Amino acid sequence: MKIGVMHGRLREFDLGQVLQVAGLGRQYIEVEIRDDAALVGTISLKSGKVVRVDMPDAEGRSALFELFRRSDGQFYVYRADMPEYLPEPLGAVNGLLMEAMDYLRTLGPGSPRSSSRPPYTEIELPTHVGLAPPAPGSAPEPYPETVDGHQSNEGASAPVENAEPAFASSVRAALEPAQQSASVPSPMRSIPPPKPARRSAAPSNAPSATRTPSSPPPEAEPRRSVAPRTSAAPPARRTRSAPAGKIVAIASPKGGCGKTTVALNLALSLARQGRSVTLVDADINGDILSTINARQRGEIGAYDVLVGVAATEEALLDTILPHFKIMPAVGGQLPRAEQLAVDHSANWRGLLFDLSKRAEIVLVDTPAGMFGATHQILQAATHVVGILQAEAVANRSFSRFLEALRAMPDEHRPEVLGIVINMLQTKHPASLSVFQSACTELPGDWLFDTSIPRHRAFLDATQAGLPLRHLDEAAPPAVAFLFDNLAAEVVERLRLGAVEKKPQPLLL
């Protein structure tokens, strides 16, 4: 039994195209070439291989080549019953098309198909033996009545008028990189990797606070691959689709070392210094609104924007300062677990780039750890601030921070803006030794001059659900001012322009 699949005119789709499409499938297919009603030849295919070719007076390759010489006539494609015994195939469709092309070329310019147009894909598919423009008005024949009595009742109305011979090449043209460059950002890999190597800041054999002794990195200088802040070459990512402002991720491999506290108080200080700041909470667990005891305020969060159920503006909360906005992590409802499992890299990039158009600095408080969401955010961030808790466990795990950054491709890696030592206890030798080793081990300019001590004011602030400074507006705790210092350092390192100042005279 034969079942008609499609039919048309060779003027519209040439034999090469027909065989390629027939070869996509894995059915046993017969392609009949007819001239008016008369059968000229049959090509049998299975799974992209030409199994046999039959003509009244020829078979095999010579018959196939002969059929390729025809520019006129109709093709009929059927599914047919597979014979009991399949002969060794003549070859794969692609290879045979190439042979047919070669054969037609040897026929010279006088051959009926000499006006070959170029192969339609950039691959090795020279398929296209020439194609004359379609003859308007001539519809294909319906299926011959030999086919199990199935005769089409609408063959004459088949929509064949709009044949576009160069179709495939127009598809290809649209896909070619050269064509894309006008409208599509150039691919990242075309950009040369940035960066000169930086000098080593520490003796390489010293016990390191920040390296992994157990897994020596491949390079002699492990930090070489982490783009230094002083790098002359800009990170490659910027050329792809650059954020409008600075996107600074606050990250640390270990939880509980004060990322959220630093992020919140730093953002507040930056805003008080006249910067427009958006603080984005990306940490579903220990989120900022809980810290300032405003959990109920956020109805929509960053994750709602990420999964596309809310617009960016809807998730932004206003603060008492006009240029300081907060985007909570989650709204009234936690995202479903499966939504969190999805890679939101592109969405984070879209969200953060969008926010960077609205604020000079976008600070992102990331979840603990360097993978998962943090990794996705780091890819979109322009800078990263590492938080190093002055405590032994945090110190040991800090090497993860460097490893994770090193593992990122150059064009996705944010610049290291600096490392903040947090919860420093100067009277505690273990804590102090972390500080000391950070001073010697970290590249010279990574460590911020400002370190944050462990202080009971932080407890009080959390208890009150306020940023430090808001504990007592008139006389904030001394540690609150440390964040002003840190903010000034951040501004300097980000090379932001000066805020317009209006000095006020003291005397009235």
Partner 1 sequence: MFSDETKQAILGSWRLVVPIAETAADLFYRRLFELRPEYRTLFPDDMSGQKRKLIKMLAFVVKSLDWLDDDWQASVAPEEDLMLVVLAMGRRHSALYRVPDESYAVVGEALVWTLDYGLGDAFTPQVRKAWIELYTLVAQAMRMGGATVERDTDLVSADDAQRQGEIALVSQQAEVGIDEARLGMREDVS
CA atoms of 443 and 201, how far apart (whole Å): 5
For residues 22-51, which are near partner 1 according to CB under 8 A? 22-29, 46-49
Q: If you ran DSSP here, which 8-state letter would residue 99 be given?
A: H
Q: How far apart are the first and last CA of the chain?
A: 104
Q: How far is the CB of 427 from partner 1 (least distance, A)?
A: 48
Which residue among 10, 13, 65, 277 contacts partner 1 (CB under 8 A)?
13
CA atoms of 243 and 113, how far apart (whole Å): 54
Q: How far is the CB of 506 from partner 1 (least distance, A)?
A: 55
Helix (H) or strand (E) holding 38: strand 38-46
Which residues touch 173 (CB under 8 Å, ≥6 apart)? 179
Q: How far is the CB of 342 from partner 1 (least distance, A)?
A: 6
Which residue among 68, 120, 435, 448 contacts partner 1 (CB under 8 A)?
120
Which residue among 39, 125, 294, 496 contacts partner 1 (CB under 8 A)?
125
Q: How far is the CB of 343 from partner 1 (least distance, A)?
A: 4
Give the interface segment with partner 1, choosing from 103-111, 175-183, 202-210, 266-274 (CB under 8 A).
Answer: 175-183
Q: Please, are residues 416 and 252 in contact by the beta-carbon 8 Å criterion? A: no
Q: At what angle do helices 259-272 and 478-494 cross, to 10 degrees?
A: 80
Tell me the chain's radius of gyration from C-alpha atoms: 34
HSE (side-chain half, CA atoms, 13 Å) at 322: 1
How many positions of this chain bind partner 1 (CB under 8 A)? 81
Which position has the token pair 């090193």? 406
Q: Does 187 bind partner 1 (CB under 8 A)?
A: yes
Which residue among 122, 145, 221, 313 contacts partner 1 (CB under 8 A)?
122
Q: Does 3 bind partner 1 (CB under 8 A)?
A: yes
For residues 381-420, which are near partner 1 according to CB under 8 A? 409, 411-412
Q: How far is the CB of 88 from partner 1 (least distance, A)?
A: 11
Q: Please, are residues 310 and 291 in contact by the beta-carbon 8 Å criterion? A: no
Give the interface segment with partner 1, choosing from 104-112, 333-341, 441-449, 485-493 (CB under 8 A).
Answer: 333-341
Which residue among 50, 53, 67, 160 contacts partner 1 (CB under 8 A)?
160
Q: Which residue, 168 or 317, is less far from partner 1 as judged by CB?
A: 168
Q: Does 353 bind partner 1 (CB under 8 A)?
A: no
Which residue among 57, 108, 174, 500 contacts partner 1 (CB under 8 A)?
174
For residues 56-115, which are near partner 1 according to CB under 8 A? 79, 82, 86, 89, 92-94
Exposed / middle / buried, residue 398 (Cβ in 10 Å: 0-12, 13-18, 19+): buried
Q: Does 145 bind partner 1 (CB under 8 A)?
A: no
Which residue among 38, 135, 197, 342 contacts partner 1 (CB under 8 A)?
342
Q: Which residue, 148 or 219, is less far from partner 1 as judged by CB?
A: 148
For residues 409-468, which are near partner 1 according to CB under 8 A? 409, 411-412
Binding track over 279-318 against partner 1, x by CB under 8 A: ----------------------------xx----------
For residues 242-281, which are near partner 1 according to CB under 8 A? none
Q: Please, are residues 352 and 280 in contact by the beta-carbon 8 Å criterion? A: yes
Which residue among 154, 318, 449, 500 contacts partner 1 (CB under 8 A)?
154
Q: How far is the CB of 410 from partner 1 (least distance, A)?
A: 10
Which residues touch 301 (CB under 8 Å, ≥6 apart)? 281, 315, 327, 328, 329, 330, 331
Which residue among 178, 232, 341, 508 contacts partner 1 (CB under 8 A)?
341
Tell me the C-alpha to C-alpha distance, in Å, between residue 451 and each of 255, 288, 485. Answer: 18, 21, 10
Q: Which residue, 135 or 346, is less far from partner 1 as judged by CB?
A: 346
Q: Which residue, 143 or 448, is less far from partner 1 as judged by CB?
A: 143
Strand (E) positions, 367-464? 383-389, 415-422
Helix (H) or strand (E) holding 79: strand 74-80
Long-range CB contacts (within 8 A, 24+) of 152-156: 152/4, 155/7
Q: Which residue, 163 or 464, is less far from partner 1 as judged by CB?
A: 163
Q: How far is the CB of 170 from partner 1 (least distance, A)?
A: 5
Q: Which residue, 19 or 388, is less far from partner 1 as judged by CB?
A: 19
- 393 forms beta bridges with none
Q: Which residue, 241 or 463, is less far from partner 1 as judged by CB?
A: 241
Give the interface segment with partner 1, choosing from 245-253, 340-348, 418-426, 466-474 (CB under 8 A).
Answer: 340-348
Render the burial of 88-114: b for 16+ CB within 10 Å, e for the rest. Answer: ebbbebbebbbbbbebbeeeeeebebe
Which residue among 123, 320, 474, 507 contacts partner 1 (CB under 8 A)?
123
Which residue among 183, 215, 296, 504 contacts partner 1 (CB under 8 A)?
183
HSE (side-chain half, CA atoms, 13 Å) at 460: 13
CA atoms of 454 and 15, how far apart (whole Å): 79
Q: Which residue, 53 or 486, is less far from partner 1 as judged by CB?
A: 53
Please report the DSSP string for 238-299 in residue order.
HHHH--SSEEEEEE-SSTTSSHHHHHHHHHHHHHHTT--EEEEE--SSS-HHHHTT-GGG-S
Q: Does 347 bind partner 1 (CB under 8 A)?
A: yes
Total number of residues shown for the chain: 508
